[in-house]
Structures are given as C-alpha cells and as structure tokens.
Amino acid sequence: MLTLKKYSILALSFISLSAAAQKNKPLFDGKTLTGWKAVAGAAPYKAENGMIVGIMTKDTPNSFLITEKEFGDFILELDVKLEGDNTNSGIQTRSHIKPEGNRGKGLVYGRQVEIDPTARAWTGGIYDEARRLWLYPLELNPAARSLYKKNEFNHYRIECIGNETKTWINGKPVAYVIDTLDQSGFIGLQVHSIGNNLENDGKKVYFKNINIQTENLKPKAFPKGIYTVNLNPNSLSAYEKSEGYQLLFDGKSSNGWVGAHQTTFPEKGWKIENGIISVEPSGGAESTNGGDIVTKAEYAAFDLSFEFRLTPGANSGLKYFVTLNEKSKGSAIGLEYQVLDDELHPDAKLGRDGNRTLASLYDLITAKKEARYLRPIGSWNNARLVVYPDKKVEHYLNGVKVLEYVRGSEEFRKLVAISKYKDWENFGEAPKGHILLQDHGNKVDFRTIKIKTL
C-alpha cells in the first residue's frame, strides 16, 4: 500500500515525465527516415548510427530532406556536423516547395538557417532560399562568427514564434529576424549543390538529436546589443524599443520632416501613401520639384536603417551630417549613401572607380558589393548606416558591409580634396547634422526608417 508521501512523489514524477515529453518531441526516430522525404536534388540521405546523413553529390542541384508535416510555431534543437571547410548546408524553417520549379525537380524556398564552415563564417545567419536571399548575414553580428566549430557537432537552437525567428549556435545568440512571410511550413535538412566539384563529392553532413517543441513555447531572451532585421514595415519590436530605436517615419505622416530649405514639409513632389514615403518623378532633375527633405532633429553618432525601392533608372540618396550652413541651391550638402539603379542611371559610370554606385559614399568611396547580395529593381532593399562616436562610419546593403571609413581622417580628407566637395570647408566633419532624403527627380520609395543614438 502506497503512503501519501510516496504517492505524491510518484504522481509528481509522472507529471514531470509528461511535461518533458510535451516539451520536446523527436523529429527523427534514430533508425529510419519515417516522416521525411527527399526532394529537389539527387543527393542521398540515410539513417545511420542514430543520425541522418546527407551525402554531397556532383552535378545535382540543392537537395533537401523535408518533413512530411508542416509546423507553425516551434522551437527546434539539433546537432549538426559538416565535413570540409569549403562546403555548405542549412536547415529550412517554415518552408515550401514549387513542384514545377527547378525543371520539374521541385524548388524549395523559405527561410534557412545557415551552416557555413568557410572563412566567411556566417553559421546561424538567416538566408531566404530561392527567394529574397540573405536576410541576416553575420556581418550584422560579427561576434557570432567564431561560434561554429569545424568538423565537430554544433548545437543549433531555432525559435520560430509568431513572426520572429531567432537562432543560437552552441548556446550563444546569433540572428534575429522579424518577418511578414510564412506562418507555417515544413522543416528541411539541406545538402548543398557542389556542381562538378570532385573535391567535395562524397563529403557528408550529419544531423542528430533532432527535437521539436510546439506547445507551451517560451521565447528565450536575447541579450542587449544584437541588431534586429525587422521586415514588418514602419514598426519597432519591444526588443528594438528597449535598445533605444525610434522611427524617423511613422508610415502615415510627415511628422519630424521639413523641406531642406523650408520651414514646412513640401506641398508637392513627395507622397505618403500605404506606409511609404515617395519621391515623385519629375524628369530626373535634381531638387526641382519638391526638393530634398530633412529631419527636424540633428544626430551625431547613430545606427540608422531604412528600406528603399528603386524604379528603373532611378537616382536618390540618403545624406547625413547635413547642416544647411552652405546655403547651397538645389540639393543640400552632406555625406551621401547613394541610392541608384547602377545598370540604367548614367551616374554609375561617372566619378572614380564606381564611387557613385549604389551604397557608395557618393563621389568618395566605392561600395564593394557582390551581385548576389542585391535585390532586383522594384524590390525592397535594406540599407544600414552606422556612425560611431569615434567617427568611424560603416555602410551596409542587405546586411552586408560594403565600406567603412573615418570622418576627418587624413585618408578621408585626401578623398574630399579630389571630389566635387573640395570647395566646401571641413566637408563631412560637422559634429552633428540632419538626415536627408534626396529629390533627384526620379520615383523612389522609402519606409522603415529607424535610428538609434549611440
């Protein structure tokens, strides 16, 4: 006969075991691929020694082993080991497949958590497979690039709760994306295409301890100081607010902005509609319609992000440290993050060595960018501009750092001396200034303009 004390202990044990079973459920039984199916490419997968093993195979597109079941909110944990140091893999979350894509082999698309043993070291970053490409490269969190251990098992934690995706590698936080797409979808394990690379033919990627929690989810807090990619237009998450970010454009009004040479917002030339602030087209002439607009406030050291959408052949820019002291006619003077259609606008061919192309420090420093990090004209691109208290400046495009420099340095002043700004005394060295959106006579859209004072 059980005593009350023993009965209570036994009952608590059953409750504890039930809670544990509810918390984590295996997605892989350790013996078979039941519940999974291979799609898209021809790289083989097998269950072996309690692991799912994918084998890299030449002359096949990206291959995926995907769950037959779809998931909405979840916390996924697993251990991954990838052979080689110039290979690649990933974990699909809330993803989908177009059966007709990839010449009828099927095209997998959706957010992927990166496995990257290369010198780039973007493991844990978030990539949008076959769609928007990189959402969170690890240049946005460089401290996380050292977390991955080559040719060893690495522990992944992936939270997909609501519209937020967060990642951890070996217990350390990596990436944070707030998105508007894909509230549910399958989970997939990738074997990346190697083309005809014989060096990687036969190399393996190992997945084990694959467990998922779908109920009673409790998000794990991120520490302070990690950049968030928020793709929900004109919004700030609770985390971003706690970090000190503010919206410079509320998505509805011109509050906080005036014409560069006016005391009010321009009566023409700019339109605010559907959460977007747009420069109206006027034949491509600079500041002849509505003119530039500037923030009422001035800023000294800051972390500024914005989204922009170009029309074919368009030109615009975001300027910073704009003082308006020059009393210039037309466009106001300031350091400029160039916003340009490099293919169709002639300005891309002017200047020196491409220093008037997209994301460049206009007429001074060329943005070093690769085509694979660009999004097509007509799509939204993400720009980021960081000015540190020590005067170091960084330009980013779609999460990738494309240039850096130090305001007022000898090198900077030499560049100014051979630029169109050579006649402006102490150009770009003001202690603070306004933020400016440029009217260059072409239609360009802006949204999600946010800033954090450093």
Q: Which helix (H) or strand (E) holds 5?
A: helix 4-23
Q: Which helix (H) or strand (E) holds 55?
A: strand 51-55
Taking residue 147's Cβ as centre, other Cβ atoms within 10 Å add up to: 20
Backbone angles phi, psi at 421, to 5 degrees: -95, 5
CATH no. for 24-213: 2.60.120.560
Over 70: is that where the pLDDT of 310 sits?
A: yes
Give me the mean pLDDT over the 388-415 stretch: 98
Give the pLDDT confidence of 41-93 residue by residue, as tens digits: 999 999 999 999 999 999 999 999 999 999 999 999 999 999 999 999 999 99
d(CA 442, CA 432): 28
d(CA 406, CA 388): 9
CATH no. for 235-453: 2.60.120.560
Task: Decide whether 24-213 matches 235-453 in CATH topology.
Answer: yes
pLDDT band at 12 (very low <50, low <70, confident <90, very high): very low
The 3-class secondary structure across 384-422, one letter per residue, is: EEEECCCCEEEEEECCEEEEEEECCCHHHHHHHHCCCCC
3-state secondary structure of 7: helix
Average pLDDT of every residue of the chain: 94
Over 60: is that where the pLDDT of 295 sits?
A: yes
pTM of the full predicted structure?
A: 0.92
Over 70: is that where the pLDDT of 14 sits?
A: no
The residue with greater pLDDT, 2 or 403, is 403
Q: Which DSSP letter does residue 16 get?
A: H
Over 50: is that where the pLDDT of 354 sits?
A: yes
Q: And the tokens for 272?
A: 């605010």
Contacts of 125 (CB under 8 A, 6+ apart): 113, 114, 116, 134, 136, 137, 138, 167, 174, 175
**Per-residue confidence (pLDDT) for residue 267, from 0 to 100:** 94
Give me the mean pLDDT over the 365-384 stretch: 95
**Per-residue confidence (pLDDT) for residue 433, from 0 to 100:** 98
pLDDT band at 8 (very low <50, low <70, confident <90, very high): very low
Over 60: is that where the pLDDT of 6 sits?
A: no
Q: Can you list the positions of beta strands (E) in 35-125?
A: 36-39, 45-48, 51-55, 63-67, 74-82, 89-98, 107-115
pLDDT band at 330 (very low <50, low <70, confident <90, very high): confident
Give the pLDDT confidence of 168-181 residue by residue, as tens digits: 999 999 999 999 99
**Per-residue confidence (pLDDT) for residue 22, from 0 to 100:** 56
**Per-residue confidence (pLDDT) for residue 263, from 0 to 100:** 92
Over 90: is that where the pLDDT of 203 sits?
A: yes
Question: What is the torsional sign of CA 395, 401, 402, 405?
Answer: positive
Sheet holding 293-295, edge to edge: 257-259, 293-295, 434-437, 315-322, 335-340
> Percent of the chain at pLDDT above 70?
95
pLDDT band at 5 (very low <50, low <70, confident <90, very high): very low
Give the pLDDT confidence of 219-275 residue by residue, as tens digits: 999 999 999 999 999 999 999 999 999 999 999 999 999 999 899 999 999 999 999
Over 60: is that where the pLDDT of 428 sits?
A: yes
Over 50: is that where the pLDDT of 9 sits?
A: no
**Residue labelled with tokens 């520490």:** 223
3-state secondary structure of 303: strand
pLDDT band at 285 (very low <50, low <70, confident <90, very high): confident
Over 80: is that where the pLDDT of 15 sits?
A: no
d(CA 189, CA 113): 10
pLDDT band at 194 (very low <50, low <70, confident <90, very high): very high
Question: What is the torsional sign of CA 219, 223, 227, 232?
Answer: positive
The residue with greater pLDDT, 286 or 115, is 115
**Per-residue confidence (pLDDT) for residue 288, from 0 to 100:** 76
Give me the mean pLDDT over the 432-454 stretch: 97
Q: Where are the domains of the chain?
A: 24-213, 235-453
The residue with greater pLDDT, 17 or 149, is 149
